[in-house]
Amino acid sequence: MTVVRINRRTVERGGLAAASGLLAGFTALAVGELVAALVRPQAGPVTVVGGAAIDRTPAWLKDFAIRTFGESDKLVLQLGILATIGVLAALLGVFALRYRRTGAAGVLAFGVVGAAAALTRPDAAGAGDALPSMLGAVAGAAVLYLLVGFLTAAPAAPVATGDGAGEPAEEPTGWNRRGFLIGAGVTAVAATGAGALGRTLTGRSGQGATASRAAVTLPAPASPAADIPSRAVLRIPGLSAFTTPNKDFYRVDTALVVPKVDPDTWRLRIHGKGVTRPRTYTLQELLERPLIERDITLTCVSNEVGGPYVGSARWLGVRLADLLGEAGVKPPSRGGRADQLVARSVDGMTLGSPVEDVMDGRDALLALGMNGEPLPFDHGFPVRMVVPGLYGYVSACKWIQDIELTTFDAYDPYWVKRKWARKAPIKTQARIDTPKPFAQAAGGTVTVAGVAWAQHRGIQRVEVRVDDGPWQEAELAEQATTDTWRQWSFPWKTTPGGHNLTVRATDGTGQVQTEQRARTIPDGASGWHSVFVTAT
Ligand SMILES: Nc1nc2c(c(=O)[nH]1)N[C@H]1C(S)=C(S)[C@@H](COP(=O)(O)O)O[C@H]1N2
Ligand SMILES: [Mo]
């Protein structure tokens, strides 16, 4: 019979065992990051487990995460993974107090999980990707085994109980606190050093990538963008800039580590159904072609009514239809065999666009430049797709490396496998940028202003309604192109009290924006944007 005596020393020993587990976990991750820095930064244990988690997240949860955490969703995920690993590691530590070998083997088991995640990532580069998780786990297991050894160092004299031999000692009398503290201290310092070294090495390779991006010179466009008419740009405090600066441009993707592609070894392959002349291009070959420059507004399907995932930039790139034409591709309306273009990125993302749309004369681009500089890493360096009128998830592949012509019947890309629509033209939307929701507005006349977009159809009209009053025409800035958003303003003659301001747009075809509320899944949110404002 075992009587567990709960006394201070038992509690202390348990606490130190939990700490051993935490240190083992920390060591595993730190060594994992160091090995990843040498193998491939994308193969780090937290990155691969996080990536696997993102891919397995159900659509509703992903939507919730984007809604709740916005662009911090990835940080929240990584903190969640770290917290989970921490809890499991501490439990494993306590468990190892009794079952030292099994506890250490448990750490190895986590390593196997990490290695499996690494090898099944769509961008896995080979067996080497398993190394960070495996070597990290070996280091972690060794730490746990050693540290727990101090806590069980001097077992109590065999306890003579009636149950016979083999029963674990319930409380070693002379365990080695001093040894433990030294061992734990050395481990903590060594693991921190390994992690810091890993970070430094990854940072250094990042600097190399930054330098090679800076070395890319963008040629002047053969077909420059039309000047933005001065009357297309309103200067109203709180209103979105007509051209979104790169640093403020929204970012939506599944990459926990932003790919830093080497422009010298980058290739783009075009192949598949109906491709009579498959080809592979280097970046230099693309840069030497006649480039077009266009202002195009990009929107994410995950953007809520009134949401922030929309931005407008001046893109410089190769007309996609030209490349496809050279490859022998014909759109379905001219007898082409492929109706879906699947773009694949270096991080294994797949996005599918209708071949008809990218070849119908619109300015579908393989973009190389964004607002006068090479694409930022976050936005797809060295090359990405941009197709006016289609949501990003069905067109705007960043870090693109492969274009395959296929059919919608034959292949479902990433987001379609996750319940989003196969085809997703951008829905007409108008947004009130100022005043902000729940603002206290001054009395008198207040300028209400915002943007409206219906890419490739254009915006014909914007109307504002105060409470349940009549719809009133907003003043429209000039339309730059049908592929860009349009700014608008409305002089609101306030009356004191709380008011609901609502906006709606009419697209270039005369369709009034629907009032019907729809969620973002499966093909984009709809409904009118309103803000509640109190006037004094
Ligand atoms: N490789 C890759 N490309 C991608 C994505 C992604 O997750 N991975 N997300 C797409 C989505 S959903 C959108 S809305 C746009 C966003 O582009 P941005 O981050 O430059 O604004 O990129 C698209 N291209
Ligand atoms: Mo998106």
DSSP 130-173: GHHHHHHHHHHHHHHHHHHHHHTSSPPS----TT-TTPPPSS-T
Distance from the alpha carbon of residue 248 to the mean position of ligand 2, in angstroms: 16
Final residue in a domain of this structure, among 355, 387, 418:
418
Q: Based on the domain organization, do 459 and 387 belong to the same domain?
A: no
According to DSSP, the β-strands at 475-476 and 429-434 are unpaired
* Ligand 1 near 249 CB (within 6 A): yes
Q: What is the model's pLDDT at position 163?
A: 47
Q: Based on the domain organization, do 252 and 401 belong to the same domain?
A: yes
Atom of ligand 1 nearest to the CA of 300: 14
* Ligand 1 near 484 CB (within 6 A): no
Ligand number with the minimum distance to the CA of 525: 2
Ligand number with the minimum distance to the CA of 350: 1
Contact between residue 463 and residue 504 where contact means Cβ atoms under 8 Å apart: yes
Instruction: Report the greatest alpha carbon distance in the chain.
Output: 94
Low-confidence stretches of the chain (pLDDT < 70) are 1-6, 153-174
Q: Is residue 23 part of a domain?
A: yes
Q: Is residue 480 part of a domain?
A: yes
Final residue in a domain of this structure, among 418, 451, 479:
418
d(CA 433, CA 456): 22
CATH number of the domain encompassing residue 333: 3.90.420.10
Atom of ligand 1 nearest to the CA of 400: 1
* Ligand 1 near 347 CB (within 6 A): yes
Q: Is residue 423 part of a domain?
A: no
Distance from the alpha carbon of residue 310 to the mean position of ligand 1, in angstroms: 12
End-to-end CA distance of the chain: 78
d(CA 253, CA 377): 12
Distance from the alpha carbon of residue 252 to the mean position of ligand 1, in angstroms: 5
Q: Based on the domain organization, do 404 and 302 belong to the same domain?
A: yes
Q: Is residue 216 part of a domain?
A: no
Residue type, 515: E
Domain residues for the domain of 64 are 8-156+174-207
Alpha-carbon 3 to chain mean position:
53
Distance from the alpha carbon of residue 310 to the mean position of ligand 2, in angstroms: 9
Q: Is residue 166 part of a domain?
A: no
Ligand number with the minimum distance to the CA of 296: 1
Q: What is the model's pLDDT at position 494?
A: 97
Q: Is residue 215 part of a domain?
A: no
Q: Is residue 164 part of a domain?
A: no
How many structural domains is the chain composed of?
Answer: 3
Q: Based on the domain organization, do 288 and 244 belong to the same domain?
A: yes
Closest residue (by CA) to atom 15 of ligand 1? Answer: 392
Atom of ligand 1 nearest to the CA of 398: 3
Q: Based on the domain organization, do 23 and 97 belong to the same domain?
A: yes
Q: Based on the domain organization, do 395 and 492 belong to the same domain?
A: no
Of 398, 402, 403, 417, which is best to mutate to test ligand 1, by the most ligand atoms within 8 angstroms of its C-beta?
398
pTM of the model: 0.91
Q: Based on the domain organization, do 491 and 392 belong to the same domain?
A: no
Closest residue (by CA) to atom 1 of ligand 1? Answer: 398
Distance from the alpha carbon of residue 460 to the mean position of ligand 1, in angstroms: 28
Query: Smallest Cα–Cα separation from 271: which of 318, 331, 338, 333?
Result: 338
Q: Based on the domain organization, do 414 and 437 belong to the same domain?
A: no
Q: Is residue 90 part of a domain?
A: yes
Q: Based on the domain organization, do 250 and 399 belong to the same domain?
A: yes
* Ligand 1 near 400 CB (within 6 A): no
C-alpha neighbours within 13 Å on the C-beta side of residue 87: 5
Q: Based on the domain organization, do 312 and 460 belong to the same domain?
A: no
Of 57, 246, 249, 253, which is best to mutate to test ligand 1, by the most ligand atoms within 8 angstroms of its C-beta?
253
Ligand number with the minimum distance to the CA of 302: 2
d(CA 58, CA 80): 17
Distance from the alpha carbon of residue 519 to the mean position of ligand 1, in angstroms: 19
Q: Based on the domain organization, do 367 and 507 belong to the same domain?
A: no
d(CA 76, CA 66): 11
Residue type, 131: L
* Ligand 1 near 381 CB (within 6 A): no
Q: What is the model's pLDDT at position 4?
A: 54
d(CA 70, CA 49): 21
Contact between residue 475 and residue 452 where contact means Cβ atoms under 8 Å apart: no
CATH number of the domain encompassing residue 480: 2.60.40.650
Final residue in a domain of this structure, among 418, 449, 470:
418
Closest residue (by CA) to atom 24 of ligand 1? Answer: 397
Ligand number with the minimum distance to the CA of 370: 1
Q: Based on the domain organization, do 190 and 133 belong to the same domain?
A: yes
